C-alpha cells in the first residue's frame, strides 16, 4: 500500500514571518515529520497548495478533488488548515473508491509543543485501516466531515 500525502497549507505549516510578529504559511513540514518518525511505509508527498484554509476557494477544492480522483492510488492523507477542514472534507466525498484522511494542527509543526506530529501519526494509522471514504483525524479521534465541528473555545474538534 502506498500512501499519498497532499499538503495544502494551514497552521501545521505556519512559520514566523518578518519580525516574528505574525505567521504565514511556509514550506510543508510533513517530510521532516515523517523522516523524524522513521516512517518505513511507501509514500509520496504532493505539495499542492500553500494557503491558510480561510484563503481556500472552490477552485482549490476542485483541484484537490481532481488530484485525488485522477490518482491511481487509493490511500490519501491531506494536511489542511483546521478552519475549513470540514468544508473540504465534505467536498472530497465526491471521490469514490478512495480512503482520504484530512488532518492538521492547532499549533505549527515547527513549535516544540504541537499537536501536528500526533495528528499526522493518527492519520497515517487511520488511512491504513479505514474503509473507503473521507475522514478527519484530529485530537486523537476520527470524525466524519458530516458529523464534526471545530470547537474554537476548547481548541478541538468534536462530534455533532
Q: What would the DSSP string read from start to end of 85-108? A: HHHHHHHGGG-TT-EEEEE--SS-
Calculate the alpha carbon distances from 116 to 22, 86, 95, 107, 139 in Å. 19, 17, 25, 7, 10
Span 45-102, pLDDT tens digits: 999 998 989 999 999 999 999 999 999 999 999 999 999 999 999 999 999 999 999 9
Taking only the tens place, the pLDDT of each residue in 98-136 is: 999 999 998 777 666 788 889 999 999 999 999 999 999
pTM, rounded to two decimals: 0.91
Domains and CATH numbers, the chain: 2-159 (3.40.50.1170)
C-alpha grid cell, residue 101: 484522511
Regarding predicted confidence, which is higher, 18 or 141?
141
In whole angstroms, how far apart are CA 13 and each of 70, 108, 142, 151? 26, 6, 21, 21
CA 60 to chain CA centroid, Å, is 14
pLDDT digits (tens, 9 = 90+) for 29-47: 899 899 999 999 999 999 9
Ranges assigned E (strand) in the chain: 2-9, 14-17, 22-25, 42-51, 75-79, 99-103, 133-138, 141-143, 148-151, 156-159
Exposed/middle/buried for residue 54 (C-beta within 10 Å: 0-12, 13-18, 19+): exposed
**So what's the pLDDT on residue 109?**
72
Residue 63 contacts by C-beta under 8 Å, 6 or more apart in sequence? 48, 49
- Residue 7, Ramachandran bin (φ over 0: left; ψ between -120 and 50: alpha; else beta): beta
Give the pLDDT score at 113.
73
pLDDT at position 24 is: 58
Residue 19 confidence (pLDDT) above 90: no
Amino acid at each position: 500500500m502506498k500512501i499519498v500525502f497532499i499538503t495544502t497549507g494551514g497552521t501545521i505549516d505556519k512559520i514566523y514571518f518578518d519580525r516574528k510578529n505574525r505567521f504565514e504559511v511556509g514550506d510543508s513540514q510533513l517530510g521532516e515529520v515523517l523522516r523524524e518518525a522513521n516512517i518505513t511505509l511507501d509514500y509520496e508527498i504532493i505539495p499542492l497548495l500553500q494557503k491558510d484554509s480561510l484563503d481556500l476557494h472552490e477552485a482549490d477544492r476542485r483541484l484537490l478533488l481532481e488530484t485525488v480522483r485522477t490518482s491511481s492510488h487509493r490511500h490519501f492523507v491531506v494536511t489542511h488548515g483546521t478552519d475549513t477542514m470540514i468544508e473540504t472534507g465534505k467536498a472530497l466525498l465526491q471521490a469514490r473508491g478512495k480512503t482520504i484522511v484530512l488532518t492538521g494542527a492547532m499549533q505549527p509543526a515547527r513549535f516544540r509543543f504541537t499537536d501536528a506530529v500526533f495528528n499526522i501519526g493518527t492519520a497515517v494509522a487511520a488511512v491504513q485501516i479505514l474503509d473507503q471514504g473521507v475522514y478527519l483525524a484530529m485530537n486523537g479521534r476520527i470524525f466524519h466531515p458530516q458529523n464534526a465541528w471545530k470547537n474554537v473555545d476548547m481548541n478541538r474538534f468534536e462530534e455533532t
